[in-house]
Amino acid sequence: MVVDQRIVLALVCVLFFKIQLSFEQTLNSPLERDALLKLRSSLGIRSKEWPIKGNPCTNWTGVLCANGSVSGINISGFRRTRVGSQNPQFVVDALVNLTRLTSFNASRFRLPGSIPDLFGQSLDSLRVLDLRFCDVRNAIPLSLGNLTSLTSLYLSGNSLAGSIPSSLGQLVLLSVLDLSQNSLTGSIPVSFGSLANLTSLDMSNNFFSGSIPPGIGTLFKLVYLNLSSNQLSSAIPAQLGDLSQLVDLDLSFNSLTGSVPEDLRGLRNLQRMLIGNNLLSGPLPVNLFSASSQLQIVDLKNNDLTGSVPNVLWTVPGILILDISGNNFTGFLPNVTVTANATASRLNISGNLFYGVLRPILRRFSFVDMSGNYFEGGVLDFVSENASLVSNCLQNVSNQRSLSECASFYAERGLIFDNFGLPNSTQPSAEKSKGKSNKKVIILASVIGGVGLILILLAILVLFLLCIRKRGGSTNQRGVVVGPAPAGSAPPPPEAAVSFSSLGDTFTYQQLLKATGDFNDANLIKHGHSGDLYKGFLEDGIPVVIKRVDLLSIKKESYLVELDCFSKVSHLRLVPFMGHCLENENEKFLVYKYMPNGDLSGALYRKTTSDDDSLQSLDWITRLKIATGAAEGLSCLHHECTPPIVHRDVQASSILLDDKFEVRLGSLSELCPQEGDTHQSRITRLLRLPQSSEQGTSGSATAMCAYDVYCFGKVLLELVTGKLGISSASEAQLKEWLDQMLPYISIYDKELVTKIVDPSLIIDEDLLEEVWAMAVVARSCLNPKPSRRPLMRYILKALENPLKVVREENPGSARLRTTSSRGSWNAALFGSWRSTSDVAVIPAGSSTMQEGTSSLKHSGTSNSGGSGQNGGGDHSSSHRRYSREIFPEPSEGQNVERQGQV
């Protein structure tokens, strides 16, 4: 009996293995196996993923088979072989033999080149095509419109250019269409109104112009619509209000005009409404929002909206973020006494015309910015500690509006400003008005006498300075040697002046000991110049970086400067500050959010996980993203803070990177407000004398801001060349590097820059233009004269649109200037970065012409070979007309200084 059971068990096992073998997928067609082998070779797939002797259906990663044929290929994130990475191309011709292929996913696998027509001509069964972040470029082929079975098309994060073919409107089964983060131009095709099954449409971060097609409002299945960061104009179509299934609407950062349509009240399921940073005007419709709304985020900032805010908007129960800053809203806040329903809810109504006393509505929000309005009276006890209330008419709050401003504002609206219960000193008395007439004669005589005295003194001063110039005519006037950070910075605020209560959480010393394992050396990240940095984990598992400031060896001012900065400046590009521990007398601790990708100095090249100890270089798209993010942070400090703030420690190690390589500026202990006489440069220029600001970095406000610009230029050069340490090099080493590199940066010769580009970067002709543009911007930043370096806001715009730095203006630019209030500014912004110091020392044998002495040329958006507005096709330097709006000073003749002498 036992023997019989063993026999039965053996027979069952044999039968099981036969069944398993029968279900094992194998390729029926030798033609398909041959196609996979050719694809393996043309793409440079490693043996680790696709072993040459293995069964593709079972042993090849990402290959799916069905009924003996290949049905899906997923090479997302694969790395090419060493040979394949030397000359990567978009060569997938072998796919034509995979006739039953339904899915092709190559996201984050480099495929430099154009999308082959074979996708639309031969792969009729394709349902999913994913080419995100593949370095694909040029135009979208018309043939993609033949893929009538396609349900998902992902083309984001590439360098696609040109207009969208209207044939994509034939993809009637399409559910997801993602064309974001490219360089696509033209208008949104009207044929998109035929994509009735579309649930997600993302066309953000391109250069689309024109209006939003009303047909988008007929895509009733649409859940996600993102058209942000383009150049769309005209009004928001009322038809969008018919998208009852829409959850996420983002139309921000365009040039949309007109009022917000009342029909948008039909978006009953909307959770995110982002229409900020446009040119919208007029009042908000009263019934735009309902009490039963699903809204969680409402962003209307930086438009020209007027009138009062609908009361129901303040009471929408699910609101987490409400930002209506930078408009012209007016009126009282409603007296709503609801309690907080979210621990991280935010309200920003700054830069409007709200007035009256503060209201209990603030109880709803844990972070409040009400600055730049006209609220009066004292600060009530219910106002959040995380509130910014400056530039109002409030009592006992620093940096408020003057009494005359407040009284004038209230008088214009027929309201009474009570001056905090004191007599209104801004109202002129009868006695004062009577005395005005008697003083006119005295004032007039004083002015005439003063002008005469000034003219005499000025003549003496000119003669005196001319004598000095004759004596010192042989001195070197090459400009400033940029060395240590500017001296003479403003002292840090006293500890009592910093409001610690509004600066994140307060940690105990025991919490930080536990987070870092008693500050174990294994958790030490590095020894910073303002304290040691340790990685740690809070009790809830959140990774953090803890700076340990030893006051016995480091100045107390270093940590106070950072705390003062975080108490006054809030920007996404600054390293997120989580809290502090100040209970120890000789040690202070600052806690920041952990940045998974470290800093730029360590992220530019990373060791791979392979066994060959090779280094993986950051791709160009990521490098440009990092440069733009850092410029955005510095632009905030320079242009959005009052007074402007100088970073003073801009280098690769202070540019921190989160998990998505978004930039967060660190090393904030050297911050200082901009100081100096801003009119000094005008006076010295009038007298044709060297600027004092050019004799040292601490001379004037321009010189201090220019110090950051100069340091940022070194960072840009490090990104272009891949040479680690440029931004932190000593003066001698930096001079040597600049002497070697700057001669190869010329606005007139793109090919020169290839001699200094990081050899690990694999770039084609289009990307080379972006590299060239960044190098030109870097050179302008490294100008030896601080007054000739561009402002950071112009640098930011140039990096956001690098092709406009090096390409000629096309006729479309003129139309833009006449159709947008921002047009004239944009047209002047993207000019040639040909400062008077941009005279390159060209190596022997180079055919490039010498750079001219003009400050700026107008440039357009696309046509590198087109003619400028001056007419004709002659683009020689002698026939160009230039704008002088980027640089703060006019040209003073040809400057033959070498950029390396900085």
Quote the DSSP letter at residue 282.
E
Give the CA diameter of the chain: 133
Q: How far is 583 from 581, CA to CA, in rounded Å?
A: 6
328, two tokens: 């012209």
**CA-to-CA separations, 558 to 48, 504, 667, 688, in angstroms, rounded:** 51, 18, 10, 40
Nearest to 530 by CA among 515, 513, 547, 544: 547
CA distances from 648 to 482, 487, 677 (A): 11, 10, 19
Tokens of 894: 């040809």
Tokens of 654: 């202070």
Residues paired with 369 in a beta bridge: 348, 388
Could you give the CA distance from residue 784 to residue 791 in angstroms, rounded to a whole number? 15
DSSP letters spanning 729-768: --HHHHHHHHHHHGGG-BTTBTGGGGGTS-TT----HHHH
What Å distances lie between residue 87 and 476, 721, 728, 763, 784, CA to CA? 49, 20, 33, 10, 39
Pick the closest to residue 720 from 795, 803, 623 (CA basis). Answer: 623
Closest CA to 419 of 407, 432, 430: 407
Q: What does the alpha-carbon distance between residue 203 and residue 247 come to, in Å, rounded to a whole number? A: 16
Among 326, 314, 312, CA closest to 275 = 326
742: its two tokens: 């700057």
- Residue at 17: amino acid letter: F
- The answer to whether residues 636 and 571 touch, using CB atoms and an 8 Å cutoff, is yes
Can you tell me which residue has the tokens 């895509």? Answer: 219
Tokens 């107008």 found at: 858
**Gap between the Cα atoms of 660 and 157, Å rounded:** 13
Look at residues 680, 691, 703, 805 and name the one whose alpha carbon lies nearest to residue 745. Answer: 805
Q: Which of 202, 649, 708, 838 is catalytic?
A: 649
Q: Is 649 a catalytic residue?
A: yes
Q: Which residues, listed in sequence order, are joined to residue 635 by a DSSP beta bridge? A: none
The candidate with the shortest Cα–Cα distance to 110, out of 63, 202, 162, 44, is: 44
**Spatial distance between the Cα atoms of 283 and 285, rounded to a whole number of angstroms:** 6
Query: How far apart are the C-alpha atoms of 336 and 312, rounded to whole Å?
Result: 10
Assign 3-class secondary structure to 451-470: HHHHHHHHHHHHHHHHHHHH
Amino acid identity, position 401: R
Active site residues: 649
